[in-house]
Chains A and B, each alone.
Chain A
Amino acid sequence: MSTAIEFRKLGFAAGGGQRLLDDISFTVEEGTTTVVLGRSGSGKTTLLRTVNRMVEPTSGGVFLRGRNVRESDPIALRRGAGYVIQETGLFPHMTTLRNVGLVLEAKGMAKRERTLRSQDLLNAVGLEARTFGVRYPHQLSGGQRQRVGLARALAAEPNLLLMDEPFGALDPLTRAEMQDMLRQLMSRMRKTVLLVTHDLDEALYLGDRIVLLQAGKLVANLTPEEFLRSRNPEVEAYVRAFHRGEMSAAAERPA
């Protein structure tokens, strides 16, 4: 297995000197899913955005297949990495089909070709292209919109998918459906995925590895099994906070 992404002593300080990312080093293997976990403000979105140069690190660097992203043209880099964010990412004035094919349109692919490709992608994420292709984002449910977002990210056949809280705005059942679909798609396509979430359950379900960030520092980089057994106090605190409801319900059950 080869290394797809390497973060090397990555640091990012905001304008006021506040360190949002502090000396972060880890690697992501080709074809695996790494989940970056952390509470709000831990720097996980900033970390994700250094990969496609939406954020330029102030120290250290990000290497894709051994090459510093700083040496890549940002436009080409971004087109080569699928990007999915929470709900808001679809363009309201474009049909579903055009949203999916937008990166291909930007690259200058002929309309016929990109329409066919967009239709295939919609079908692949479980939306019948003939029905859903002509709809606008506001005519879709939250889950359907997220499927379109995923199809759009896959359009340019990227090796790498960057996902920023992709299912954060969905209800738990829809979220579970989306997670299942993502897992199936990923096992078929063997893409490298970097996914940001604050949801431990999602991290355990989707991640081959879980990277825990806290206040801009890397606290742990573990497999899901290791994560649950870890004695690292910060990891334990996260796990405990997450299972609170479960434990309290169990404790109150009469013996």
Chain B
Amino acid sequence: MNDFLRQYGAQILELTIEHLWLTGAAMLFATLIAVPLGVWLTQKPAWAKPVIGVANVLQTIPSLAMFGFLLPLPWLGERAARVAIVALTAYALLPILRNTYAGIRGIDPSLLSVARALGLTNTQRFFKVELPLAASFILAGLRTATVTCVGIATIAAAVGAGGLGELIFRGVASIDNDLVLAGAIPAALLALACDGVLGLMERSFRVPGQGLPA
């Protein structure tokens, strides 16, 4: 065990950081796209079905196929990390988008009416009432998306984007179970850690006295 860590420890650490960077960048982009888009859809509900539908379709594309589609594209295909981040972003869109939309649409309309009657401006109403009331929903979406992306990011190694998947693929190719586990265990722990941390955040934003977000 000690020998193993001495041999692979530095590599595991490096690849974990790479893995986190791929996932983190994708989550950042996905959040920057999906949260404002979800908010916008609450203003234009007629668009909700088609837009969420598109995100849904993206979600159903098998991950290897998605990497395959993106590789031949100019600029994007030049660097594997770019392909990986775009693909992961696409997968993360749906849960964040859906939860942002549902979280805001689910707010008791009488509360929004009161906010208006008290003389809150639209911006104040959004930041003081709508966003805080939907926050735990949005974070729940972010949590699902993150955990999914940590998993899918292992496959990004297939196109040379790095991350913990690299150890797994190398282990499979050389029939070295230790090497497979050296990638698989940290990847699983990473997913659990992200789930735990985001779960705590989600709980801290939960509206007092109300149940769990669906």
Q: Please list the residues of chain A having a beta carbon within 8 angstroms of any beta carbon in chain B.
A: 49, 52, 54, 74-80, 83, 85, 88-89, 91-93, 102-103, 105-106, 136-139, 152
Q: Could you tell me the distance between the alpha carbons of A157 and B114 in the complex, rounded to whole angstroms?
A: 18
B118 touches A106 (CB 8 A): yes
B116 touches A93 (CB 8 A): no
Per-residue CB contact flags for chain B residues 100-139 toward chain A (1 = under 8 Å, else 0) read 0000000010110111111111001000110011000000
Q: Could you tell me the distance between the alpha carbons of A141 and B20 in the complex, rounded to whole angstroms?
A: 48
Residue of B nearest to A164 (CB): B117
Within the complex, what minimum Cβ distance (angstroms) separates A98 from chain B? 9
Q: Could you tell me the distance between the alpha carbons of A74 and B210 in the complex, rounded to whole angstroms?
A: 32
A91 touches B111 (CB 8 A): yes
B74 within 8 A of A: no
Could you list 6 further interchain pairs (A-B, Cβ under 8 angstroms) beyond the known A106-B128, A152-B118?
A75-B119, A83-B117, A85-B114, A85-B117, A91-B114, A138-B210
Q: CB within 8 A of B119: which of A88, A91, A93, A106?
A: A106
B62 within 8 A of A: no
Q: Could you tell me the distance between the alpha carbons of A63 and B104 in the complex, rounded to whole angstroms?
A: 36
Q: CB within 8 A of B129: which of A80, A91, A103?
A: A91
B119 touches A137 (CB 8 A): no
Q: Could you tell me the distance between the alpha carbons of A194 and B19 in the complex, rounded to whole angstroms?
A: 63
Q: CB within 8 A of B118: which of A78, A136, A139?
A: A78
Q: Could you tell me the distance between the alpha carbons of A77 and B119 in the complex, rounded to whole angstroms?
A: 7
Q: CB within 8 A of A102: which of B116, B128, B208?
A: B128
B121 touches A88 (CB 8 A): no
Most buried by B among A52, A85, A91: A91
B208 touches A83 (CB 8 A): no
The 4 closest A-B pairs by CB, nearest first: A138-B209, A79-B119, A78-B119, A136-B208
Q: Please list the residues of chain B having a beta carbon within 8 angstroms of any beta carbon in chain A.
A: 108, 110-111, 113-121, 124, 128-129, 132-133, 207-210
Most buried by A among B114, B124, B210: B114
Q: CB within 8 A of B120: which of A77, A106, A138?
A: A106
B114 touches A89 (CB 8 A): yes
Q: Could you tell me the distance between the alpha carbons of A78 and B118 in the complex, rounded to whole angstroms?
A: 6
**Which residues from A are CB-within-8-Å of B114?**
83, 85, 88-89, 91
Q: Could you tell me the distance between the alpha carbons of A137 and B108 in the complex, rounded to whole angstroms?
A: 15
Q: CB within 8 A of A138: which of B113, B132, B208?
A: B208
A137 touches B209 (CB 8 A): yes
**Which residues from B are CB-within-8-Å of A88?**
108, 110-111, 114
A106 touches B117 (CB 8 A): no
**Which residues from B are CB-within-8-Å of A89?**
110-111, 114
Q: CB within 8 A of A93: which of B110, B113, B120, B207?
A: B207
- With A54-B113, A85-B114 known as contacts, the answer to whether A106 contacts B121 (CB < 8 A) is yes
Q: Could you tell me the distance between the alpha carbons of A188 and B152 in the complex, rounded to whole angstroms?
A: 67
Most buried by A among B108, B110, B118, B120: B118
- With A85-B110, A88-B111, A136-B209 known as contacts, the answer to whether A93 contacts B118 (CB < 8 A) is no
Q: Could you tell me the distance between the alpha carbons of A75 and B72 in the complex, rounded to whole angstroms?
A: 54
Residue of B nearest to A85 (CB): B114
Name 29 A/B residue pairs within 8 A (Cβ), A-sorted: A52-B117, A75-B119, A75-B121, A76-B119, A78-B116, A78-B117, A78-B118, A79-B118, A79-B119, A85-B117, A88-B114, A89-B114, A91-B111, A91-B115, A91-B129, A91-B133, A92-B207, A92-B209, A93-B208, A102-B118, A102-B128, A105-B128, A106-B118, A106-B119, A106-B120, A136-B209, A137-B209, A138-B208, A139-B208
Within the complex, what minimum Cβ distance (angstroms) separates A100 from chain B? 11
Within the complex, what minimum Cβ distance (angstroms) separates A153 from chain B? 9
B121 touches A93 (CB 8 A): no
Q: Could you tell me the distance between the alpha carbons of A226 and B113 in the complex, rounded to whole angstroms?
A: 36
Q: Could you tell me the distance between the alpha carbons of A75 and B209 in the complex, rounded to whole angstroms?
A: 30
Q: Could you tell me the distance between the alpha carbons of A138 and B210 in the complex, rounded to whole angstroms?
A: 9
**Which residues from A are CB-within-8-Å of B115?**
91
Most buried by A among B111, B113, B115, B119: B119
**Which residues from A are CB-within-8-Å of B124?**
106
Q: Could you tell me the distance between the alpha carbons of A77 and B118 in the complex, rounded to whole angstroms?
A: 9
**Which residues from B are CB-within-8-Å of A103?**
118-119
Residue of B nearest to A52 (CB): B117
Q: Could you tell me the distance between the alpha carbons of A149 and B117 in the complex, rounded to whole angstroms?
A: 13
Residue of B nearest to A95 (CB): B208
